[in-house]
């Protein structure tokens, strides 16, 4: 590993946690008190990119007031070290995508808690007037004691209301293809029901080990989100209750008006609906066995 520098402002870089397409995530130690944090820093070749700098600042502005046990805490946005960076609480390196690398059965016995924590985080974000726009397993971290925290608010959007919603035109199409709602693909104005669709895709994958829609090309994948029938979770996991399958299928409805109206409605359904017919067994391995950390983030899907 090659370090470009030892310090960013008053933070001493200790180790590279993750390398993404535009950002690096470092574990860092604050000089004045030796407290440990995570720093999200633009990669060297991106440090003059005004759009990426704007994304970084936007992420901080969205998340700085999000005080919730299941949302990563963003502490400060700094511009005094030649490059802007965000200071975050240091949490687990493992995300839900990585946690399934040995199969969904490795997290199945904790899945009700994982799904509820993820949904509570999203409900809180919505209550603050934002849509996340990139709900996926990669954007939820999982700790060794099975605590979940939502991350990455880079493309989160303020929900438009009133005249703003009425006169909103096409929006820039952003997100991750495997989890994008039909209205997100079409560049339409988004509300919380778009995230509900993406959460449905994520829950489907956490249970079966694969996303509900796949394609040989990006366009084929997007086309399936727009028009293909909603698949049954029971095909990928026979232990799922028909009632829970119905909840996820409702979340994955093509039209926003056919989905639950809010994440509060989703939470009520999740809390009242068992996921599995029989309790999954505790596996011989857990997601942290042989996990070395590191790897790529923001990988294209």
Residues acting as catalytic residues: 134
Sign of the C-alpha dihedral, residues 196, 200, 256, 213?
positive
Which of helix, strand or coil describes residue 67? coil
Question: Of 189, 192, 194, whose CA–CA distance to 225 is shortest?
Answer: 194
CA–CA dist 282, 284 (Å, integer): 7
Q: Which of 267, 290, 243 minimizes the C-alpha distance to 99?
A: 290
DSSP conformational letter for 203: H
* H or E segment to which residue 24 belongs: strand 23-30
Residue appearing with tokens 């209550």: 127
Closest residue by Cα to residue 68 from 153, 169, 150:
150
- C-beta of residue 76 within 8 angstroms of C-beta of residue 138: no
């Amino acid at each position: 590993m090659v370090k470009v520098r030892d310090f960013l402002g008053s933070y001493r870089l200790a180790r590279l946690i993750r390398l993404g397409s535009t950002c690096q995530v470092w574990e860092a130690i604050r000089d004045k008190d030796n407290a440990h944090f995570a720093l999200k820093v633009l990669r060297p070749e991106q440090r003059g990119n005004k759009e990426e700098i704007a994304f970084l600042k936007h992420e901080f502005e969205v998340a700085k007031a999000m005080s919730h046990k299941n949302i990563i805490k963003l502490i400060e946005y700094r511009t005094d070290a030649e490059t802007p960076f965000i200071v975050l609480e240091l949490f687990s390196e493992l995300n839900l995508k990585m946690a399934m690398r040995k199969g969904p059965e490795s997290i199945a016995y904790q899945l009700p808690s994982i799904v509820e924590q993820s949904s509570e985080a999203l409900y809180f974000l919505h209550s603050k007037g934002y849509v996340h726009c990139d709900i996926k397993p990669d954007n939820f971290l999982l700790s060794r004691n099975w605590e979940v925290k939502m991350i990455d608010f880079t493309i989160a959007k303020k929900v438009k209301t009133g005249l703003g919603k009425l006169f909103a035109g096409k929006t820039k199409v952003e997100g991750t293809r495997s989890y994008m709602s039909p209205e997100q693909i079409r560049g339409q104005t988004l509300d919380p029901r778009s995230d509900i669709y993406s959460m449905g895709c994520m829950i489907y994958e956490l249970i079966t080990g694969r996303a509900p829609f796949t394609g040989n090309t990006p366009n084929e994948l997007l086309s399936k989100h727009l028009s293909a029938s909603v698949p049954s979770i029971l095909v990928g996991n026979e232990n799922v209750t028909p009632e829970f399958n119905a909840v996820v299928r409702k979340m994955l409805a093509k039209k926003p008006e056919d989905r639950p109206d809010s994440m509060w409605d989703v939470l009520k359904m999740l809390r009242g609906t068992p996921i599995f017919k029989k309790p999954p067994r505790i596996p011989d391995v857990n997601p942290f066995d042989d996990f070395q950390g590191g790897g790529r983030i923001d990988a294209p899907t």
